[in-house]
Amino acid sequence: MKKLINILDFLPEELENEIKPMFHVKQLCQWIYQKYVDDFDSMSSLSKDLRLKLGQKYHFSPLQCVNFLQSQDGSIKYLFELNDGLRIEAVLLPMKKEKFDEKGKRISHTKYTLCISSQVGCRSGCSFCLTAKGGLKRNLSAGEIVGQVLWIKKHNKIPYEHRVNIVYMGMGEPLDNLKNVSKAVRILAHNDTFAISPRRQTISTSGLAKQIKELGQMNLGVLLAISLHAVNDALRTELMPINKAYNIASIMSAIREFPINQRKRIMFEYLLIDNINDKREHAKELVKLLNGIKAKVNLILFNPYEGSIYKRPCMQKALEFQKFMREKGITCTIRESKGLDILAACGQLKQRSEEL
Ligand code: SAH
Ligand code: SF4
């Protein structure tokens, strides 16, 4: 049988040559991305001929859900199997609950953040990360990245009009797959698909300075998060070997050139690991490093897993670190450890499923 092509890999305008007029492409996209239909045959506004032609050439199901876990805080972690049998994870995080007025009328909907994967595995080799353990298996295609959003929105019946945020913080290093990730950003942002503005999409990176520059030159309007985790090169290299190729100075210089919206800032993620990087001296160095940069800091408490060599610090330490940053005038939040009970840190559900 002929191998079908994933239609989610294409921007609407790329389908225009094949599906004329453009108006049909619009309709096709509405069926897939907004009405969540399951097959070409149900797309009743398209001609029978076109539906047949599309079905012989394309599919739009690049992944199947093989396991999921719901946390007490409402977040759901999905384990997906790709069409070649490899597995990735994604998480749905309800951030703000829906609100009602005094008469019981809904005034705002639940706000969701979707955390999605960009690669199967990762080659950055961070010593605290489970995804690093198996190395890189392969890049995801743009359509496999978009497919995670489609699957989660569709199966949770999140209507097209409800805003969702996207964070590229699942498995993999998004900037090691820049071509496909940047395409996914554009597909997700397209008005005929999900219309998720790039300002609602955050790319998180271990600091590939060269690709940060390339991403900046693309001027997509996405937000950038840097997984910094350490403030001097010796410690950072120990935690994140990628620091040998791109040291802290090279990352900071790439960031200074990165185009950001007037009202936005670069996010620095700082993983607090007990007794490794959580002391007052580290906080002081961090303040110095961020001097002159429109930055905000997000503290993450290390999420332990079986066999991990590091420990999670107590909340008190995180609060002290945060207090110090705030006293120095730096916006600093502590990431809610959503889904702790469901192994929500990167790679942890996949690992568990392989052990079972
Ligand atoms: N590769 C990218 C994006 C995926 S990792 C990056 O490193 O930024 C997303 C975030 O999860 C990163 O900030 C990473 O440091 C963090 N992370 C990895 N393992 C973790 C763990 N065990 N506990 C808490 N956070 C972890
Ligand atoms: Fe890769 Fe990010 Fe994990 Fe480091 S933290 S190994 S860059 S996924």
- pLDDT by position in tens, the chain (length 356): 678 999 999 999 999 988 988 899 999 999 999 999 999 999 999 999 999 999 999 999 999 999 999 988 889 999 999 999 999 999 999 887 777 788 888 777 788 999 999 999 999 999 999 999 989 999 999 999 999 999 999 999 999 989 899 999 999 999 999 999 999 999 999 999 999 999 999 999 999 999 999 999 999 999 999 999 999 999 999 999 999 999 999 999 999 999 887 778 999 999 999 999 999 999 999 999 999 999 999 999 999 988 899 999 999 999 999 999 999 999 999 987 665 555 555 555 555 555 44
Cα distances from 251 to residues 85, 231, 264, 294, in angstroms, run: 35, 12, 19, 14
CB contact at 8 A, 6 and 143: yes
Which residues on neighbouring strands pair with residue 54, listed in sequence order? none
285 is in an annotated binding site: no
Nearest-CA residue for atom 8 of ligand 2: 172
State the alpha helices, DSSP H only, in 98-232: 142-155, 178-189, 209-218
The Å distance, Cα 138 to ligand 1 centre, comes to: 18
Domain 63-355 class in CATH: alpha beta
The Å distance, Cα 123 to ligand 2 centre, comes to: 8
Nearest-CA residue for atom 8 of ligand 1: 205
Q: Helices 178-189 and 142-155, interaxial angle, to 10°? A: 40
Which tokens belong to 216?
């900046």
The Å distance, Cα 172 to ligand 1 centre, comes to: 9
Judge if the beta carbon of residue 346 lies within 6 A of ligand 1: yes
Q: Look at residue 356 in the predicted model and tell me its pLDDT.
A: 40
Among residues 330, 250, 249, which one has the least CA distance to residue 295? 330
Judge if the beta carbon of residue 7 lies within 6 A of ligand 2: no
Do the first three CATH levels of 5-59 and 63-355 match, i.e. the same topology?
no
CB contact at 8 A, 112 and 92: yes
Nearest-CA residue for atom 21 of ligand 1: 303
Give me the sign of the Cα torsion angle 287, 208, 89, 350. Answer: negative
The Å distance, Cα 173 to ligand 2 centre, comes to: 6
Q: Look at residue 20 in the predicted model and tell me its pLDDT.
A: 82
314 is in an annotated binding site: no
Active site residues per annotation? 89, 346
* pTM higher than the cut 0.75: yes
- The whole-angstrom separation of Cα 356 and Cα 66 is 13
Domain boundaries, the chain: 5-59, 63-355
The yes/no answer on whether domain 5-59 falls in CATH 1.10.3810.10 is: no
228 is in an annotated binding site: yes
162 is in an annotated binding site: no
